[in-house]
Amino acid sequence: MTNNLLFPLTEEHEMIRQTARDFAQNEIAPIAADYDESGEFPFETIKKMGEMGFMGIEVPEEYGGAGMDTLAYVLALEEVCKADAAHGTIMSVNNSLFCFGILKFGTEEQKQKYVRGVASGKAIGAYSLTEPMSGSDAGTMRSRAVRDGDHYVLNGRKSWITSGPVADTMVVFAMTEPEKKHRGITAFIVEAGKPGYILGKKEPKLGIRASATSEVVFEGYQLPVENRLGEEGDGFKIAMTVLDAGRVGIAAQALGIAEAAYDASLAYAGEREAFGQKIGEFQGISFKLADMKTRIEASRLLTYNAALAKERSKTTGERFTLEASMAKLFSSETAMFVTHAAVQIHAGMGYSKELPIERYFRDAKITEIYEGTSEIQRLVIFRLETGLK
């Protein structure tokens, strides 16, 4: 696929894109199907990605990261997801949902203590907002944190936590003042493996199967007051700000999945024959490919634009919620559109596990669900545009 970019890439951007592409195609693509089948966590490749700086691309070097910008992050994540979206999920949680939040809202001590390990890939980070009875509507969460002198006692059950089974540390959201609903949520940095930290059931999944996902249960878990992220009651604001950053990553993930499915489909349409001609010569197939390509390029523009908006916010402090939501909404629906068409173009072989097409199709679906469903993105976009609730 050719990329006629409107966005000028610096030499540094080209370098990270090429480095990520080489690594992803040589080291991740060949193992992706096996890890998808077994559902094992890919420790080895994640460790290597950490050594290459991919686990904290935007994190300043003083905190163990690569010290690059948001566009560099998006370009690298897109390449990783072209090879395997599950590796991309793990990468995106470490970068956006864990490191970004602590860098933005944490104390100097918290940054030194918790960001360094995750940004360098030596530790795995996670983000715990969702609960069995509370997804899109976070204000209904039941987890409670009660202050007792110099520590808090945490009780509750979190569900669908990406990297939950393997995380060393995670940002956890819990109610400190339940009667205030979403204004009563507080964020905490939690270390795994301490008394009262219990791994719950592993979530069996349709796609991104190599990214471990589980429930995490807290029963009388004690954490020092220094591990509170921000002030009491800041949790909802922190959760939503962090999701803005996360959504830029999910847009890049969706873009990568769609590109992989399109590239394979274009090649297949030029090889496979039916009724004495290449299937790409049938208008029914060529129009599909034209639509796939056009939507991918539109996704790219929205996604890179969101990356630039996020980068700009580092100096202006302006939110980039609208850009992030539009990029995530459009790219994720494009990934579904493109992978659906890719299965159809490959037909029987698209349905076969001998090719990665069916995996792209399964993996694409999650991008419409996590970090805010498509319905929630539409709600966010409409509210920001109109000011209506």
Ligand X SMILES: Cc1cc2nc3c(=O)[nH]c(=O)nc-3n(C[C@H](O)[C@H](O)[C@H](O)COP(=O)(O)OP(=O)(O)OC[C@H]3O[C@@H](n4cnc5c(N)ncnc54)[C@H](O)[C@@H]3O)c2cc1C
Residues that bind ligand X (CB under 6 A): 93, 127-130, 135-136, 160-162, 205, 208, 213, 366, 369-371, 373, 375-376, 379
Shortest Cβ distance from residue 205 to ligand X (Å)? 5
H/E element, 218: strand 213-224
Shortest Cβ distance from residue 95 to ligand X (Å)? 13
Shortest Cβ distance from residue 73 to ligand X (Å)? 18
User: What's phi and psi for 201, nearest 5 deg?
Assistant: -65, 145
Distance, in Å, from the CA atom of 111 to the CA atom of 339, rounded to the nearest integer, reads 39
H/E element, 273: strand 273-274
Find the DSSP H helices in 93-201: 101-105, 108-110, 116-119
Shortest Cβ distance from residue 385 to ligand X (Å)? 16
DSSP string for 322-376: HHHHHHHHHHHHHHHHHHHHHHHHHTHHHHSTTSSHHHHHHHHHHTTTTTS-HHH
Q: Catalytic residue among 219, 333, 371, 375, which? A: 371
Shortest Cβ distance from residue 161 to ligand X (Å)? 5
Q: Are strands 125-128 and 169-175 parallel, antiparallel or unpaired?
A: parallel
Shortest Cβ distance from residue 97 to ligand X (Å)? 7
Sign of CA dihedral 114, 120, 123, 125: positive
Residue number with CB closer to ligand X (158 or 228) = 158
> Among this protein's residues, is 371 annotated catalytic?
yes
Residue 237 corresponds to which amino acid? Answer: K
**Contacts with 18 (C-beta within 8 Å, 6 or more apart), sequence order:** none
Residue number with CB closer to ligand X (57 or 380) = 380
Residue number with CB closer to ligand X (205 or 340) = 205
Residue number with CB closer to ligand X (204 or 276) = 204
Sign of CA dihedral 35, 38, 43, 44: negative
Nearest-CA neighbor of 80 among 369, 168, 341, 72?
A: 72
Residue number with CB closer to ligand X (94 or 265) = 94
Residue number with CB closer to ligand X (124 or 129) = 129
Rg of the chain taking only CA atoms, in angstroms: 21
Q: Which residue is nearest to ligand X (CB)?
A: 135
Contact present, 222 and 152 (Cβ < 8 Å):
yes
* Polymer length in residues for the chain: 389
Shortest Cβ distance from residue 318 to ligand X (Å)? 25
Sign of CA dihedral 1, 52, 23, 344: negative
- List the structure tokens of 93: 């949680």
Q: Catalytic residue positions?
A: 371
